[in-house]
Amino acid sequence: MTLHAQHPPTSPMAPFDLVIFGGTGDLAMRKLLPALLHRHVDGQIGPDSRIYGIARDERTDEAYRERVRDAVAPLAAADPRIAACLDEFLGLLHYRRLDLGSEAGWPEFAAELGDTPGRVRVFYLAVGPSLFANVADRLDGVGLAGGGTRVVVEKPIGKDGASAQVINEALGRVFHESQVYRIDHYLGKETVQNLTALRFGNALFEPLWKAEHIDHVQITVAETVGVEGRAAYYDKSGALRDMVQNHLLQLLCLVAMEPPASLAADAIRDEKLKVLRALRPIDGGNAGQLTVRGQYRAGAVGGQAVPGYLDELGAASNTETFVAIKAEVQNWRWAGVPFYLRTGKRLAQRMSEIVVTFRRVPHSIFGDPNDGHSSPLAPNKLVIRLQPDEGVKLWLMNKVPGPGGMRMREVAMDLSFAETFGGRQPDAYERLLMDVVRGNPMLFMRRDEVDAAWQWIDPIRAAWEAAHDAPKAYTAGGWGPSAAVALIERDGRTWHEDGY
Ligand code: BG6
């Protein structure tokens, strides 16, 4: 059954102001403004809201609107609804030149925004984290940091626990924690939100969701892209900080957390925090056995030859573009269950999924798999495909119909989101931006979560640095270094790779 074309019940937002620092940057053009456009087209953003792009160069409102028009042209070309609303949306946009190094223009900007009681004001800091404190201070200096203000920050929130603390302190001096929205865009993905729905909206899974019945969990976030012109940032970060500290750990938390008492933001964030704090520490003593880091060499992705990381960077570097980790959540529910995490750039396929592998049946009544007639019973697997081909598959053993005895085969119950729900999957930023305006922090990271994630990550980083060895090479277009395969195969398990 397809539930096509059901218009989502979107509640129109009360008029608000959204100010994007870094208003001409990549994030604004590729993600934020297209997301706002979609919300406008669906009637969620009315004509009295204002969206400001802020940057350092001189530009008129008109020039800014034209720039945005170009950026969203492919969306308008693909959908007549968008084309029809585009001019109205562009009319909501304004551009202001503001320099963090100078006071010029700030008081006038504050006056323009005004101070209408009850009107929500969102400042989106789509700028490097080294500028967060400056923006916060400037906003404070012109009286824009008060009650109705919300501030949104993107990762990276620091490069380790100590630097994250400095950033959070600087924000904390100006804003109350409830005003700060830390984005991890994975939490806004529909399929990631569905993890909570799947686990806690069905009675089926929860009784089995524990070490007694689950053999292991795999979380893979594989990308085909390289560093995409972000080499300067990426080389200082690496996959551990760029992906594991935030996206992969958040996914792990959603899989492993205890049932929260409600959907209240803190109820969920409290449970996620407990998972982060229960992670088995990895340091110099065990990093060699539990982690693998890799760096891609030249190869081919999707039939296209691509250069190696060092060629793209044009310099020597030990930064990892791939990580695999065998993690463990040390509590009663999960003791002894490995959580294998892996993520990397320039892998064979763009694919993010969570695979929950259940334990084997305790005894097979279907004969001896070595007798030539019977097949071994594969363990059941729940595969949650986050992207692309979003959906859920439950792999079960079935009898192959027809004569020939009880021949068993593994087949999947397949819930494809596209087939079931049809329509467009909204981008994560659409939900996240509207949640900020709505004042719902459920899908944002609380400060203590960020700290706890760094507390687990920092010793891994330190162990790698102390080991002085280079990341393992892997050929672009494969599945990472062979050591990552060995990491899981040593335990008698394999990565779930063959067709989801
Ligand atoms: C970002 C990382 O947070 O996530 C990028 O900085 C990465 O390096 C991106 O490419 C992946 O996001 P998505 O939504 O494309 O899976």
Instruction: Establish whether 100 is an annotated binding residue.
Output: yes
Residue 154 Cβ contacting ligand 1 at under 6 Å: no
Estimate the share of the chain in helix, then strand, then coil, as percent rounded to the nearest 5: 40, 20, 40
Query: Which of 247, 363, 468, 496 is an active site residue?
Result: 247
Q: What is the pLDDT of residue 370?
A: 67
Cα 319 to ligand 1 centre (Å) = 17
Q: Which residue out of 247, 352, 445 has the highest number of ligand 1 atoms within 8 Å of its CB and is therefore the one to mutate?
A: 247
Instruction: Establish whether 272 is an annotated binding residue.
Output: no
Is 137 exposed, middle or buried (CB count within 10 Å of its CB: 0-12, 13-18, 19+)? middle
The predicted-structure confidence for 358-378, as pLDDT tens digits, reads as follows 999 999 888 776 666 666 899
Residue spans of the chain under pLDDT 50: 1-6
pTM assigned to the model: 0.94
Contact status, residue 85 vs residue 41, Cβ threshold 8 Å: yes
The predicted-structure confidence for 229-281, as pLDDT tens digits, reads as follows 888 889 999 999 999 999 999 999 999 999 999 999 999 999 999 999 999 99
Domains and CATH numbers, the chain: 16-184 (3.40.50.720), 187-431+446-489 (3.30.360.10)
Tokens 């979560």 belong to: 449
Q: What is the pLDDT of residue 300?
A: 97
Cα 362 to ligand 1 centre (Å) = 41
How many CB atoms are closer than 10 A to CB 250? Answer: 21
Instruction: Establish whether 208 is an annotated binding residue.
Output: no
Q: What is the pLDDT of residue 498?
A: 60
Among the listed residues 487, 474, 481, 462, the one whose alpha carbon sits nearest the alpha carbon of residue 290:
487
Residue 223 Cβ contacting ligand 1 at under 6 Å: yes
Q: What is the pLDDT of residue 2?
A: 43
Residue 458 Cβ contacting ligand 1 at under 6 Å: no
Among the listed residues 497, 453, 462, the one whose alpha carbon sits nearest the alpha carbon of residue 478:
497
Distances, alpha carbon 459 to alpha carbons 160, 181, 466, in Å: 10, 27, 10
Q: Has 363 been annotated as catalytic?
A: no
